[in-house]
A and B are shown apart, each in its own frame.
Chain A
Amino acid sequence: MNAFSPSEHDLHAYADGQVDETLRRQIETYLESHPEAAREVELLRQESQRLRAALDNVPATETPARLDPFRIRRELRARSQRRMAVAASLVLTLSLGTLGGWQLRDMSMRKTYLPMADATQAYRLFAVGDMAQKADMKTDQPAQLQSWLNHHFVQAAPMPDFSAYGFRPVGGRLMASDKGAAAMVMYQNDQGQAIVYYVRPPGELFNFGTGNRKDGNLLTQYWRQGRYFYAVVSPADSPSTLPLQRAVEPDRPQS
Protein backbone atom coordinates (compact mmCIF):
# COMPACT_ATOMS: atom_id res chain seq x y z
CA MET A 1 0.00 0.00 0.00
CA ASN A 2 2.42 2.61 1.12
CA ALA A 3 6.10 2.54 2.00
CA PHE A 4 5.54 3.84 5.53
CA SER A 5 7.20 1.73 8.19
CA PRO A 6 7.11 2.94 11.79
CA SER A 7 10.28 2.81 13.86
CA GLU A 8 10.48 1.00 17.16
CA HIS A 9 10.17 4.34 18.94
CA ASP A 10 7.06 5.11 16.93
CA LEU A 11 5.47 1.89 18.12
CA HIS A 12 6.27 2.68 21.75
CA ALA A 13 4.89 6.15 21.34
CA TYR A 14 1.79 4.74 19.70
CA ALA A 15 1.29 2.23 22.50
CA ASP A 16 1.67 5.06 25.01
CA GLY A 17 -0.82 7.18 23.10
CA GLN A 18 1.77 9.84 22.45
CA VAL A 19 1.61 10.27 18.69
CA ASP A 20 -0.17 12.97 16.75
CA GLU A 21 -3.21 12.30 14.60
CA THR A 22 -1.39 11.82 11.26
CA LEU A 23 1.17 9.43 12.63
CA ARG A 24 -1.51 7.51 14.50
CA ARG A 25 -3.47 6.92 11.26
CA GLN A 26 -0.33 5.87 9.44
CA ILE A 27 0.59 3.42 12.16
CA GLU A 28 -2.91 1.98 12.34
CA THR A 29 -2.91 1.38 8.60
CA TYR A 30 0.48 -0.26 8.91
CA LEU A 31 -0.58 -2.48 11.80
CA GLU A 32 -3.54 -3.83 9.80
CA SER A 33 -1.19 -5.44 7.37
CA HIS A 34 1.59 -6.31 9.83
CA PRO A 35 0.26 -8.67 12.51
CA GLU A 36 3.62 -9.18 14.24
CA ALA A 37 3.95 -5.39 14.80
CA ALA A 38 0.37 -5.32 16.06
CA ARG A 39 1.22 -8.10 18.50
CA GLU A 40 4.22 -6.12 19.71
CA VAL A 41 2.05 -3.07 20.34
CA GLU A 42 -0.47 -5.22 22.18
CA LEU A 43 2.33 -6.67 24.29
CA LEU A 44 3.65 -3.24 25.12
CA ARG A 45 0.21 -2.16 26.25
CA GLN A 46 -0.22 -5.25 28.39
CA GLU A 47 3.14 -4.72 30.01
CA SER A 48 2.33 -1.14 30.86
CA GLN A 49 -1.00 -2.28 32.19
CA ARG A 50 0.68 -4.91 34.34
CA LEU A 51 3.12 -2.39 35.73
CA ARG A 52 0.29 0.02 36.51
CA ALA A 53 -1.61 -2.72 38.28
CA ALA A 54 1.43 -3.81 40.24
CA LEU A 55 2.11 -0.28 41.39
CA ASP A 56 -1.50 0.57 41.93
CA ASN A 57 -1.63 0.24 45.68
CA VAL A 58 2.00 1.06 46.28
CA PRO A 59 2.90 2.09 48.88
CA ALA A 60 0.33 0.13 50.81
CA THR A 61 0.94 1.92 54.10
CA GLU A 62 -0.85 5.02 55.23
CA THR A 63 0.86 8.30 54.43
CA PRO A 64 2.87 9.26 57.51
CA ALA A 65 1.75 12.43 59.27
CA ARG A 66 5.14 14.01 58.83
CA LEU A 67 4.51 14.29 55.10
CA ASP A 68 1.48 16.52 55.49
CA PRO A 69 2.14 19.81 53.67
CA PHE A 70 0.80 21.88 56.54
CA ARG A 71 3.15 20.21 58.94
CA ILE A 72 6.08 20.64 56.60
CA ARG A 73 5.33 24.33 56.20
CA ARG A 74 5.26 24.73 59.96
CA GLU A 75 8.48 22.79 60.31
CA LEU A 76 10.16 24.94 57.66
CA ARG A 77 9.08 28.12 59.41
CA ALA A 78 10.38 26.89 62.75
CA ARG A 79 13.62 25.84 61.13
CA SER A 80 14.21 29.21 59.50
CA GLN A 81 13.48 30.92 62.81
CA ARG A 82 15.99 28.70 64.51
CA ARG A 83 18.50 29.49 61.81
CA MET A 84 17.93 33.19 62.23
CA ALA A 85 18.46 32.84 65.95
CA VAL A 86 21.67 30.92 65.44
CA ALA A 87 22.87 33.45 62.87
CA ALA A 88 22.04 36.34 65.17
CA SER A 89 23.89 34.77 68.06
CA LEU A 90 26.86 34.08 65.81
CA VAL A 91 26.96 37.68 64.71
CA LEU A 92 26.70 38.80 68.31
CA THR A 93 29.51 36.49 69.42
CA LEU A 94 31.69 37.55 66.57
CA SER A 95 31.20 41.25 67.14
CA LEU A 96 31.68 40.91 70.89
CA GLY A 97 34.87 38.98 70.28
CA THR A 98 36.15 41.49 67.76
CA LEU A 99 35.29 44.42 69.95
CA GLY A 100 36.78 42.80 73.02
CA GLY A 101 39.91 41.83 71.15
CA TRP A 102 40.28 45.36 69.88
CA GLN A 103 39.86 46.73 73.35
CA LEU A 104 42.47 44.35 74.71
CA ARG A 105 44.89 45.32 71.97
CA ASP A 106 44.22 48.95 72.66
CA MET A 107 44.79 48.44 76.37
CA SER A 108 47.99 46.53 75.90
CA MET A 109 49.28 49.14 73.47
CA ARG A 110 48.40 51.92 75.84
CA LYS A 111 50.30 50.16 78.55
CA THR A 112 53.49 50.29 76.56
CA TYR A 113 52.87 53.58 74.79
CA LEU A 114 54.73 56.57 76.17
CA PRO A 115 52.96 59.84 75.38
CA MET A 116 55.20 62.48 73.86
CA ALA A 117 58.24 60.23 73.99
CA ASP A 118 59.49 62.13 70.96
CA ALA A 119 59.77 65.29 73.03
CA THR A 120 61.93 63.49 75.57
CA GLN A 121 64.12 62.08 72.84
CA ALA A 122 64.44 65.50 71.25
CA TYR A 123 65.71 66.84 74.55
CA ARG A 124 68.28 64.08 74.80
CA LEU A 125 69.51 64.71 71.29
CA PHE A 126 69.60 68.44 71.11
CA ALA A 127 69.46 70.02 74.53
CA VAL A 128 72.99 68.99 75.42
CA GLY A 129 76.26 70.79 74.86
CA ASP A 130 76.15 73.88 72.77
CA MET A 131 72.52 74.08 71.83
CA ALA A 132 72.83 77.17 69.72
CA GLN A 133 74.96 75.17 67.27
CA LYS A 134 72.14 72.77 66.62
CA ALA A 135 69.34 75.28 66.20
CA ASP A 136 67.72 76.18 62.90
CA MET A 137 66.47 79.42 64.32
CA LYS A 138 69.22 81.11 66.25
CA THR A 139 67.59 83.98 68.03
CA ASP A 140 66.85 84.99 71.55
CA GLN A 141 63.95 87.19 70.54
CA PRO A 142 60.72 85.50 71.66
CA ALA A 143 58.74 87.45 69.06
CA GLN A 144 60.86 86.08 66.23
CA LEU A 145 60.54 82.54 67.54
CA GLN A 146 56.81 82.96 67.87
CA SER A 147 56.40 84.08 64.28
CA TRP A 148 58.63 81.19 63.21
CA LEU A 149 56.27 78.84 65.08
CA ASN A 150 53.23 80.51 63.57
CA HIS A 151 54.73 79.98 60.19
CA HIS A 152 54.85 76.22 60.67
CA PHE A 153 51.73 75.63 62.76
CA VAL A 154 48.18 76.78 62.38
CA GLN A 155 46.93 78.63 65.42
CA ALA A 156 49.73 77.41 67.64
CA ALA A 157 49.46 78.34 71.30
CA PRO A 158 51.66 81.25 72.31
CA MET A 159 55.12 80.21 73.37
CA PRO A 160 55.45 80.06 77.15
CA ASP A 161 57.46 82.81 78.77
CA PHE A 162 59.79 81.26 81.30
CA SER A 163 61.87 84.38 81.91
CA ALA A 164 60.45 84.69 85.42
CA TYR A 165 62.16 81.41 86.25
CA GLY A 166 65.46 82.38 84.66
CA PHE A 167 64.99 80.53 81.39
CA ARG A 168 65.26 82.38 78.13
CA PRO A 169 64.76 81.01 74.62
CA VAL A 170 67.95 80.44 72.68
CA GLY A 171 66.72 78.88 69.49
CA GLY A 172 64.25 76.64 67.69
CA ARG A 173 64.54 73.58 65.61
CA LEU A 174 62.12 71.85 63.24
CA MET A 175 61.60 68.15 63.66
CA ALA A 176 59.77 65.59 61.58
CA SER A 177 56.89 63.52 62.92
CA ASP A 178 54.72 60.99 61.16
CA LYS A 179 51.94 63.53 60.91
CA GLY A 180 53.93 66.50 59.74
CA ALA A 181 56.28 69.06 61.17
CA ALA A 182 57.06 69.20 64.85
CA ALA A 183 59.09 71.92 66.47
CA MET A 184 61.13 72.39 69.60
CA VAL A 185 62.13 75.61 71.25
CA MET A 186 65.15 75.47 73.53
CA TYR A 187 65.41 77.55 76.68
CA GLN A 188 68.46 77.98 78.79
CA ASN A 189 69.22 79.65 82.12
CA ASP A 190 72.38 81.27 83.32
CA GLN A 191 73.70 77.99 84.73
CA GLY A 192 73.45 76.38 81.30
CA GLN A 193 70.48 74.16 82.24
CA ALA A 194 68.17 73.51 79.34
CA ILE A 195 64.48 72.93 78.95
CA VAL A 196 62.60 72.09 75.76
CA TYR A 197 59.19 73.21 74.63
CA TYR A 198 57.82 70.84 72.04
CA VAL A 199 54.86 71.14 69.63
CA ARG A 200 53.57 68.46 67.31
CA PRO A 201 50.41 67.36 65.56
CA PRO A 202 48.49 64.47 67.16
CA GLY A 203 49.43 60.96 66.12
CA GLU A 204 46.97 58.57 64.60
CA LEU A 205 46.74 55.87 67.22
CA PHE A 206 46.14 57.34 70.59
CA ASN A 207 44.93 60.50 71.97
CA PHE A 208 45.82 61.31 75.50
CA GLY A 209 45.04 64.14 77.78
CA THR A 210 47.18 66.00 80.19
CA GLY A 211 49.85 64.20 82.13
CA ASN A 212 53.46 63.87 83.00
CA ARG A 213 56.05 61.21 83.01
CA LYS A 214 59.43 60.88 84.59
CA ASP A 215 61.94 59.23 82.38
CA GLY A 216 65.42 58.94 83.90
CA ASN A 217 66.31 62.39 85.10
CA LEU A 218 63.90 64.10 82.76
CA LEU A 219 60.36 65.16 83.46
CA THR A 220 58.03 65.36 80.47
CA GLN A 221 54.84 67.30 81.04
CA TYR A 222 52.34 67.25 78.23
CA TRP A 223 48.91 68.47 77.34
CA ARG A 224 46.68 68.98 74.42
CA GLN A 225 45.37 72.27 73.25
CA GLY A 226 43.54 72.94 70.02
CA ARG A 227 45.08 71.11 67.13
CA TYR A 228 48.37 70.16 68.69
CA PHE A 229 50.08 68.36 71.46
CA TYR A 230 52.51 70.29 73.61
CA ALA A 231 55.20 69.16 75.98
CA VAL A 232 57.75 70.73 78.26
CA VAL A 233 60.77 68.61 79.03
CA SER A 234 62.96 69.68 81.92
CA PRO A 235 65.53 68.14 84.28
CA ALA A 236 63.63 66.56 87.11
CA ASP A 237 65.89 66.82 90.10
CA SER A 238 66.91 70.41 89.91
CA PRO A 239 65.70 73.10 92.31
CA SER A 240 65.85 75.70 89.57
CA THR A 241 63.28 73.95 87.41
CA LEU A 242 60.79 73.04 90.13
CA PRO A 243 58.91 76.36 90.11
CA LEU A 244 58.72 76.20 86.36
CA GLN A 245 57.31 72.72 86.43
CA ARG A 246 54.74 73.87 88.93
CA ALA A 247 53.84 76.74 86.67
CA VAL A 248 53.24 74.36 83.77
CA GLU A 249 51.16 72.08 85.93
CA PRO A 250 49.58 74.10 88.72
CA ASP A 251 48.26 71.13 90.72
CA ARG A 252 51.68 69.46 90.83
CA PRO A 253 52.62 68.37 94.35
CA GLN A 254 55.24 70.44 96.12
CA SER A 255 58.07 67.94 96.09
Chain B
Amino acid sequence: MSKDFNDNDLRELLPRLRRFALSLTRHENSADDLVQSCLERALSYGDRRRDDGDLRAWLFQIMYRRFVDGQRRAKRYAGLLSLFAGREEELAPSAEDVAMSRAALKDFGKLPAEQRALLVLVSVEGLSYQEAADALDIPLGTVMSRLSRARKALRALNEGQPATPSLRILK
Protein backbone atom coordinates (compact mmCIF):
# COMPACT_ATOMS: atom_id res chain seq x y z
CA MET B 1 0.00 0.00 0.00
CA SER B 2 2.39 2.68 1.12
CA LYS B 3 5.61 2.75 -0.76
CA ASP B 4 8.22 3.35 1.87
CA PHE B 5 7.18 1.49 4.98
CA ASN B 6 5.50 -1.79 5.70
CA ASP B 7 3.67 -3.37 8.58
CA ASN B 8 6.82 -4.80 10.06
CA ASP B 9 8.44 -1.37 10.28
CA LEU B 10 5.40 -0.19 12.15
CA ARG B 11 5.28 -3.23 14.40
CA GLU B 12 8.86 -2.63 15.40
CA LEU B 13 8.05 0.94 16.38
CA LEU B 14 4.92 0.05 18.32
CA PRO B 15 6.56 -0.07 21.77
CA ARG B 16 8.11 3.37 21.21
CA LEU B 17 4.83 4.77 19.98
CA ARG B 18 3.04 3.38 23.02
CA ARG B 19 5.66 4.86 25.29
CA PHE B 20 5.38 8.28 23.73
CA ALA B 21 1.60 8.08 23.87
CA LEU B 22 1.72 7.08 27.50
CA SER B 23 4.01 9.94 28.34
CA LEU B 24 1.46 12.25 26.74
CA THR B 25 -1.79 10.89 28.14
CA ARG B 26 -0.46 9.18 31.31
CA HIS B 27 -3.26 6.59 31.01
CA GLU B 28 -2.68 3.28 29.40
CA ASN B 29 -6.09 2.98 27.77
CA SER B 30 -6.17 6.45 26.33
CA ALA B 31 -2.53 6.03 25.30
CA ASP B 32 -3.41 2.99 23.22
CA ASP B 33 -6.35 4.89 21.74
CA LEU B 34 -3.91 7.58 20.74
CA VAL B 35 -1.56 5.03 19.18
CA GLN B 36 -4.44 3.55 17.23
CA SER B 37 -5.63 6.88 15.93
CA CYS B 38 -2.06 7.77 15.00
CA LEU B 39 -1.60 4.54 13.07
CA GLU B 40 -4.93 4.96 11.31
CA ARG B 41 -3.88 8.39 10.20
CA ALA B 42 -0.45 7.21 9.15
CA LEU B 43 -1.86 4.31 7.16
CA SER B 44 -4.48 6.36 5.39
CA TYR B 45 -2.18 9.28 4.64
CA GLY B 46 1.00 7.29 4.14
CA ASP B 47 1.55 8.68 0.67
CA ARG B 48 1.81 12.24 1.86
CA ARG B 49 4.81 11.50 3.98
CA ARG B 50 7.98 13.37 3.19
CA ASP B 51 10.39 10.89 1.67
CA ASP B 52 13.48 12.10 3.46
CA GLY B 53 12.10 12.08 6.99
CA ASP B 54 12.65 9.44 9.59
CA LEU B 55 9.59 7.20 9.90
CA ARG B 56 9.72 7.37 13.67
CA ALA B 57 9.85 11.18 13.75
CA TRP B 58 6.97 11.34 11.30
CA LEU B 59 4.84 9.05 13.45
CA PHE B 60 5.67 11.05 16.57
CA GLN B 61 4.57 14.16 14.75
CA ILE B 62 1.24 12.64 13.77
CA MET B 63 0.70 11.39 17.28
CA TYR B 64 1.51 14.71 18.89
CA ARG B 65 -0.87 16.54 16.57
CA ARG B 66 -3.64 14.09 17.35
CA PHE B 67 -2.94 14.49 21.03
CA VAL B 68 -3.07 18.29 20.87
CA ASP B 69 -6.27 18.15 18.85
CA GLY B 70 -7.80 15.82 21.42
CA GLN B 71 -6.74 18.08 24.28
CA ARG B 72 -8.31 21.05 22.57
CA ARG B 73 -11.51 19.16 21.98
CA ALA B 74 -11.60 17.98 25.60
CA LYS B 75 -11.08 21.53 26.81
CA ARG B 76 -13.89 22.82 24.64
CA TYR B 77 -16.10 20.01 25.87
CA ALA B 78 -15.20 20.73 29.47
CA GLY B 79 -16.04 24.39 28.91
CA LEU B 80 -19.38 23.37 27.54
CA LEU B 81 -20.00 21.08 30.48
CA SER B 82 -19.15 23.82 32.94
CA LEU B 83 -21.90 25.92 31.40
CA PHE B 84 -24.36 23.33 32.58
CA ALA B 85 -22.68 22.09 35.71
CA GLY B 86 -21.84 25.53 36.95
CA ARG B 87 -18.21 24.68 37.68
CA GLU B 88 -15.44 22.97 35.85
CA GLU B 89 -15.03 19.31 36.74
CA GLU B 90 -11.65 18.17 37.93
CA LEU B 91 -10.20 16.43 34.92
CA ALA B 92 -7.02 15.18 36.53
CA PRO B 93 -7.00 11.41 36.94
CA SER B 94 -6.94 9.67 40.25
CA ALA B 95 -3.59 8.28 41.32
CA GLU B 96 -4.54 4.64 40.77
CA ASP B 97 -5.37 5.44 37.21
CA VAL B 98 -1.99 6.75 36.35
CA ALA B 99 0.09 4.12 34.72
CA MET B 100 3.31 5.93 35.44
CA SER B 101 3.22 5.05 39.05
CA ARG B 102 6.88 4.37 39.53
CA ALA B 103 8.50 6.91 41.79
CA ALA B 104 10.83 8.20 39.13
CA LEU B 105 7.96 8.79 36.79
CA LYS B 106 5.72 10.47 39.30
CA ASP B 107 7.62 13.71 39.03
CA PHE B 108 7.88 13.38 35.30
CA GLY B 109 4.11 13.04 35.13
CA LYS B 110 3.73 16.36 36.90
CA LEU B 111 5.37 18.27 34.09
CA PRO B 112 3.19 19.92 31.44
CA ALA B 113 2.45 17.69 28.47
CA GLU B 114 4.55 19.72 26.05
CA GLN B 115 7.61 19.37 28.28
CA ARG B 116 7.02 15.65 28.73
CA ALA B 117 6.77 15.24 24.99
CA LEU B 118 10.01 17.08 24.34
CA LEU B 119 11.94 15.22 27.05
CA VAL B 120 10.84 11.85 25.69
CA LEU B 121 11.72 12.75 22.14
CA VAL B 122 15.15 14.18 22.94
CA SER B 123 16.37 12.34 26.04
CA VAL B 124 14.70 8.97 25.56
CA GLU B 125 14.20 8.57 21.83
CA GLY B 126 17.33 10.49 20.93
CA LEU B 127 15.77 12.58 18.22
CA SER B 128 17.80 15.52 16.98
CA TYR B 129 16.63 18.93 18.08
CA GLN B 130 15.49 19.63 14.54
CA GLU B 131 13.45 16.41 14.37
CA ALA B 132 11.89 17.18 17.72
CA ALA B 133 11.05 20.69 16.54
CA ASP B 134 9.35 19.26 13.46
CA ALA B 135 7.47 16.63 15.43
CA LEU B 136 6.11 19.16 17.91
CA ASP B 137 5.56 21.91 15.33
CA ILE B 138 7.70 24.42 17.18
CA PRO B 139 10.78 26.44 16.13
CA LEU B 140 14.25 25.20 16.97
CA GLY B 141 14.79 28.01 19.47
CA THR B 142 11.72 26.95 21.39
CA VAL B 143 13.08 23.42 21.61
CA MET B 144 16.18 24.74 23.36
CA SER B 145 14.42 26.97 25.84
CA ARG B 146 11.65 24.47 26.55
CA LEU B 147 14.23 21.74 27.10
CA SER B 148 16.14 23.67 29.71
CA ARG B 149 12.92 24.75 31.39
CA ALA B 150 11.69 21.17 31.49
CA ARG B 151 14.93 19.86 32.95
CA LYS B 152 15.00 22.55 35.59
CA ALA B 153 11.43 21.78 36.57
CA LEU B 154 12.11 18.05 36.73
CA ARG B 155 15.20 18.60 38.82
CA ALA B 156 13.28 20.81 41.24
CA LEU B 157 10.62 18.13 41.58
CA ASN B 158 13.24 15.44 42.17
CA GLU B 159 15.02 17.45 44.82
CA GLY B 160 11.84 18.33 46.63
CA GLN B 161 10.84 14.70 46.77
CA PRO B 162 12.96 12.90 49.43
CA ALA B 163 12.16 15.20 52.34
CA THR B 164 8.40 15.17 52.12
CA PRO B 165 6.95 11.64 51.86
CA SER B 166 6.95 10.74 55.56
CA LEU B 167 5.40 14.06 56.44
CA ARG B 168 2.67 13.55 53.91
CA ILE B 169 1.77 10.20 55.33
CA LEU B 170 1.54 11.56 58.84
CA LYS B 171 -0.79 14.33 57.85
Contact = CB atoms under 8 A, between A and B. Distances in A.
B169 interface: no
B19 A59 contact: yes
Contacts of A64: 32
A59 to B, nearest CB: 5
Interface residues of A, number: 30
A67 B32 contact: yes
Interface in B66-120: 99-100, 102, 104-105, 108, 119-120
Interface string A4-20: 00001100110010100
A51 B108 contact: yes
Interface stretch (A70-78, A115-123, A147-155): A70-78
B36 A72 contact: yes
Interface string B12-37: 00110011001100001001100110
A66 interface: yes
A73 B43 CA distance: 7
Contacts of A55: 19, 23, 105, 120, 124
B39 A72 contact: yes
A53 B148 CA distance: 20
Contact of B145 (A9, A44, A67): A9
A52 B123 contact: yes
A205 B99 CA distance: 72
B144 A67 contact: no
A140 interface: no
Contact of B36 (A8, A12, A67): A67
A28 interface: no
Contacts of B104: 50-51, 53-54
A13 B129 contact: yes
B161 to A, nearest CB: 12
B39 A59 contact: no
Contact of B155 (A47, A63, A67): A47
A18 B122 CA distance: 10
Contacts of A133: none
B148 A69 contact: no
A58 B40 CA distance: 22
Interface in A1-49: 8-9, 12-13, 16, 18, 43-44, 47-48
Contacts of B123: 16, 47-48, 51-52
A59 B31 contact: yes
Contacts of A50: 104
Given A51-B124, A54-B108, A55-B19, A69 B7 contact: yes
8 contacts: A13-B144, A18-B129, A43-B155, A63-B14, A63-B15, A63-B18, A69-B7, A73-B7
Interface of B: 1, 7, 10-11, 14-15, 18-19, 22-23, 28, 31-32, 35-36, 39-40, 43-44, 99-100, 102, 104-105, 108, 119-120, 122-124, 128-129, 144-145, 147-148, 151, 154-155, 158
